[in-house]
Structure 1
């Protein structure tokens, strides 16, 4: 028995040992040929030799040791294929050098030795691959956890800067450069964001390379971080935005899902990613609340809404004072509010507004007159028109009148 309580390998005086040096020579030549660490062989070669000479199958503890070696190979960055090649190379080299086979003239003895070696080879390779796969799964889970934590901290923007810079390096992100964030969100619930993330990562890497790009999922959306165009050599012209590129690729998915893409502006530094992400997130929120039909929205085009929404108390007062009287209309405020929105969107052209609302021009002009009567604000007077337009935008942001205005904003 061994000191650990396991059965010691059987054998007599003809049992190969490392003392005569031939096993070390086999191990060294196999490792050199496969460019793999020799210590990944462990006691594998003595197991093969013992099987060839005595026909012994390895004990469970011996296979467990090989399984651990498979895990060590994965941890050292040695691929499963190279690890298996090492074991196969060592096996045929051992067979070629095996003293018992070389000396034997009995074909039956050679056949039995070959069968025994092949059984051990099969057992050992199976244990090696199992250990390698198990370690890889654990490494992937660990890497995914680190990635999720990094993405959350990066987008939140409140982590320690020096630490974030160090954490970003393994992901290929240079936080000293300028970056832009785009968000892709399904227009309806149940969008396959994981599949979309895989597709977008492929197109982003193809367009920008594998440095300073990041694609992840967060809160049911796909987050895409890319370097700003000015930071990319040979980048496309300023008009070629990342938003349309991503939306075009999403349109090729076979799911038939409609997507909306929002792009923030590029900003430099560690906090630039978080700032661009916040802009893209706000742009998506504004697009949803304003019921915009556009599938691609840009934060730079929605800055006026950020200005309106920055002072929420003032915005509530504006909507209440200017548009509040519309609630006294017999049909409620919604119909008149929709008329104002269509009129402004049509460039103050009543005919176009009527077409969009599917009503007559006379109905539009009647409603505009009723609005002026209720609110004392007319679209024909420039300063009053501006107040009406700003109030309409504010109402959409506050989701009024579907939601009552807050009494304490």
Structure 2
């Protein structure tokens, strides 16, 4: 609080009191001026509402002049909070504040102008009025920023809750997923995929929020959420940005496994797509840097979705193979994998392994003897394939 050593001239006090006696017309004139210069207020408030909002600020300003001191701007703080809560731009609020104070000064000058002595005395009070404006502007701005910070924190919490509901399908406030989508500014229908990556799989300098911004710059709407075991994202496609472009983009920024669900058309299918994306990610061996689509990983997803069954199958089918020294295990399992990859061709498998096809046949016969399976029987081939996938995807559990 700043104080003056002398009391306000009685003629200036009388001018202030005259204006206080005519507050209705004074504030209406101010409201009219503000609405003419700041069109925002035309839609935001009626002239009467704006005049009523101006009234406490005018009273405070005139009382400061009467008391010859710039008091703590409580009214300005309240105004700042109210305008921020209603979303009025800060620059608009500050401009309106200056318009109102300037008009108040002109009215004081008009009241004092017939008397040269009063006008001279008013100059002595000018510093109080403009110092009050400065203090009020600072207080108003601080209060406005405080509300912005509070809203940002509240909005962040609401957004996080909405994302949790979207990806889990569980809402705690009775709202459906369609309402949650609206809160996140997502379409209810369209073409979507869910993306699931390992934690911290996105490049360190491009966390999930940066991925969201980067996709937004391409015209692609997405939302992302960090969870303890994954980074989850929902991507809404556009005609110009479909799955192949998304795959290339994800491959360029990831340093781990990424799974992508099937394309779906309704936002309410998001929780099921999360499951697909996680299964697709887990269908890739840990430590890999691969983008895997669910429709390309159904068998592997089947293996990882029921690990106990898959581990039991691997031990039952390949138990004797897994008892061999590690080097021998790898030779036999790599040969079986190459044989499956080449569609059961010993010659092509040999090319992949850089060995003769007869060597491939020898290794496959040895594996068949150890496993008790016949590579000519579809049922045995199926079991060998699933067991091999279990060894590939769940190596630590299989070899426990």
Q: Indicate the TM-score class for this superposition, using the shorter chain for normalisation.
A: 0.7 to 0.9
Alpha-carbon displacement from aligned partner over 1:68-103 (angstroms, at most 9, x marks no partner): 221111111112221111111212222222235645
2:14 alignment partner in structure 1 = 13
In the superposition, relative to structure 1, how do residues 292 and 372 fare at CA in structure 2: closer, same or farther (>3 Å)?
farther
Question: Tell me, what secondary structure is at the counterpart of 1:77?
Answer: coil
Say whether 1:224 aligns with 2:233. Answer: yes
2:30 alignment partner in structure 1 = 27
Q: Is the 8 A contact 1:51 1:113 kept in 2?
A: no
Stretch of structure 1 that moved more, 302-311 or 371-380: 371-380
Question: Tell me, what secondary structure is at the counterpart of 1:68?
Answer: helix
Query: For 2:134, which of 113, 122, 129 is the aligned residue?
Result: 122
Q: Which structure 2 residue ranges, 5 or more long, are not aligned?
A: 1-9
Quote the offset at 1:118 in angstroms. Answer: 1.9
Say whether 1:164 aligns with 2:177. Answer: yes
1:253 alignment partner in structure 2 = none
Stretch of structure 1 that moved more, 318-327 or 346-355: 346-355
Quote the offset at 1:198 in angstroms. Answer: 2.9
CA–CA distance in structure 2, aligned partners of residues 198 and 236 of structure 1: 21
TM-score (norm 1): 0.75
Say whether 1:328 aligns with 2:323. Answer: yes
1:245 alignment partner in structure 2 = 249
Query: For 1:282, which of 265, 279, 282 is the aligned residue?
Result: 279
Q: Is the 8 A contact 1:308 1:394 kept in 2?
A: yes
The correspondence of residues 226-375 of structure 1 with structure 2, limited to 5 A, is 226-227=235-236, 229=237, 232=238, 235-236=239-240, 240-248=244-252, 250=253, 258=255, 260-289=257-286, 292-294=288-290, 296-310=291-305, 312=307, 314-331=309-326, 333=329, 336-341=332-337, 344-345=340-341, 349-354=348-353, 367-375=363-371
In the superposition, relative to structure 1, how do residues 239 and 198 fare at CA in structure 2: closer, same or farther (>3 Å)?
closer
Q: Which structure 1 residue ranges, 5 or more long, are not aligned?
A: 1-9, 251-256
CA–CA distance in structure 2, aligned partners of residues 361 and 115 of structure 1: 99
In the superposition, relative to structure 1, how do residues 311 and 51 fare at CA in structure 2: closer, same or farther (>3 Å)?
closer
The correspondence of residues 16-55 of structure 1 with structure 2, limited to 5 A, is 16=17, 17-21=19-23, 22-32=25-35, 33-34=37-38, 35-36=40-41, 37=45, 38=50, 39-52=52-65, 55=68
Q: Is the 8 A contact 1:186 1:258 kept in 2?
A: no
Q: Is the 8 A contact 1:247 1:259 kept in 2?
A: no
Query: For 2:397, which of 397, 400, 403 is the aligned residue?
Result: 403
2:100 alignment partner in structure 1 = 90
Say whether 1:142 aligns with 2:145. Answer: no
Alpha-carbon displacement from aligned partner over 1:225-274 (angstroms, at most 9, x marks no partner): 233x5xx5xx13866453323444x3xxxxxx735543211234453111
Q: Is the 8 A contact 1:200 1:246 kept in 2?
A: no
1:389 alignment partner in structure 2 = 385
CA–CA distance in structure 1, aligned partners of residues 124 and 200 of structure 2: 67
Question: Tell me, what secondary structure is at the counterpart of 1:87?
Answer: helix
* Larger radius of gyration between Structure 1 and Structure 2: 2
Quote the offset at 1:369 in angstroms. Answer: 5.0
TM-score (norm 2): 0.77
Q: Is the 8 A contact 1:80 1:132 kept in 2?
A: yes
Q: Is the 8 A contact 2:339 2:349 kept in 1?
A: yes
Q: Paired residues, what number?
A: 370
Quote the offset at 1:293 in angstroms. Answer: 4.3
Q: CA RMSD in A?
A: 3.7
CA–CA distance in structure 1, aligned partners of residues 199 and 185 of structure 2: 28
